[in-house]
Amino acid sequence: MTINSVLTIIQKIVDISLVWMLIYFVLKNLKNNVKMVLLFKGVLLILILKVISDALNLVTIGLILEYVIMWGPLALIIIFQPEIRNILEHLGRNQLLGSHKILTLDEREKLVYEIMNAVEYLRKARIGALIVIERDISLNEYIQRSKKIYADISSELLISIFFPRNPLHDGGVIIQGNTITSAGAVFPISVNSKINKRLGTRHRAAIGISEESDAIVLVVSEETGKISIALNGNLNYNLSLDDARMMLIEELKPKSETLLDDELEDEELDKDVDNNENA
């Protein structure tokens, strides 16, 4: 085998890998974007109709579909320019090497403790709140447009930010690591038609930013005092304090620690199976 043939094989492997990465990224983000799902269904329908028209020799509809396929990509770029821009921005914000601070166990416990203390007070006082915890995908775009704080996490500071007379109480708080980075942040409103129409702007903004990033978004309802957590475009509504606390602890775990926990659970399950078989 010559050097050129080896280089050719490597090029093909890289080429195929990049294509699969592109397909994976598109499919991963497709499920969280309602408009892109509708677009995908429309394109799929056109292709199916084209195959049927060719099989049945339907000349007129086949000719129309040929023009649609020919000029469709240009029309889609013009019509869906905002969605395409959002996908590219999402790719740009994705921190592949994970530059965010990895919290120790003590730091994570303190973070959850301070947040839940504030949430408990806000819930009882019926004060609305929107707390966004950054993970792998950067939220710098929203930090730049909000009031920067850069203060150590504390329940007293969170409560004071969301107090009704505070000018920043209407926006959201962004937490990076164990630091309150900014307040008064404005997030995109989700356009998902499946969202309960009774949910207000704060909950829709929580779902919206969770659709665009992997952030953990905690919401306290101003009207009912109910606690919710948005993750990956899904809203876990009306959680108890204990449920919200456990969810935060679980989601804040580093990926390596989560994988280790899964391996330990599998080992314990295997041991239980072996013990049952021996019995």
* pLDDT tens, position by position, 119-175: 999 999 999 999 999 988 888 889 988 999 999 999 999 999 999 888 888 899 999
Residue 133 tokens, joined? 């915890």
Q: Is 110 in the same domain as 219?
A: yes
- Quote the DSSP letter at residue 94: B
Give the C-alpha distances (Å, rounded to integers) separating 121 from 124, 182, 185.
Answer: 5, 21, 21
The whole-angstrom separation of Cα 5 and Cα 9 is 6
Number of helices (H) and strands (E) in the chain: give both, helices first: 10, 7
Identify which has the larger pLDDT, 75 or 220: 220
Burial class (CB in 10 A: 0-12, 13-18, 19+), 204: buried
| Region of poorest pLDDT, from 43-52, 181-190, 251-260 | 251-260
State which of 69, 93, 117 marks the end of a domain. 93
Residue 59: inside a domain: yes
Best-predicted range by mean pLDDT among 8-22, 177-191, 248-262? Answer: 177-191
- Compute the average pLDDT of residues 71-92: 68
- Of 20-34, 128-142, 191-205, where does mean pLDDT reach its minimum? 20-34
Tokens matching residue 41: 């269904």
Answer yes or no: do 89 and 112 share one domain. no
Q: Record the tokens describing residue 77, joined without a space.
A: 């770029």
Distances (CA, A) of 91 to 14, 21, 120, 129: 20, 12, 36, 28
pLDDT for residue 5: 80
Q: Rounded CA gap, 178 and 107, in Å?
A: 7
pLDDT for the residue numbered 95: 47
| Statement to judge: residues 115 and 238 lie in one domain | yes
Q: Is residue 36 part of a domain?
A: yes
pLDDT on residue 269: 55
For the entire predicted model, the pTM comes to: 0.63
Same domain for 198 and 225: yes
Same domain as 119, residue 51: no
Convert the pLDDT of each residue in 61-76 to its tens digit: 888 888 888 887 777 7
Residue 9: the pLDDT is 84
Same domain, 84 and 131: no
Based on the domain organization, do 127 and 249 belong to the same domain?
A: yes
Q: Are strands 179-185 and 147-152 parallel, antiparallel or unpaired?
A: antiparallel
Write out the residue range of the structural domain in which residue 64 sits.
Answer: 3-93
Where is average pLDDT lowest: 98-112, 217-231, 243-257?
98-112
Report the alpha-carbon distance of residue 41 to residue 25 in Å, rounded.
18
**For the chain, what is the domain count?**
2
Same domain, 110 and 238: yes
User: Per the domain annotation, does 262 fall within a domain?
Assistant: no
Q: Cα torsion at 140, 176, 31, 236 (round to 10°)?
A: -140
Query: Is residue 109 located within the same domain as residue 247?
Result: yes
> Does 30 score more than 80 pLDDT?
no
CATH code: domain of residue 177: 3.40.1700.10
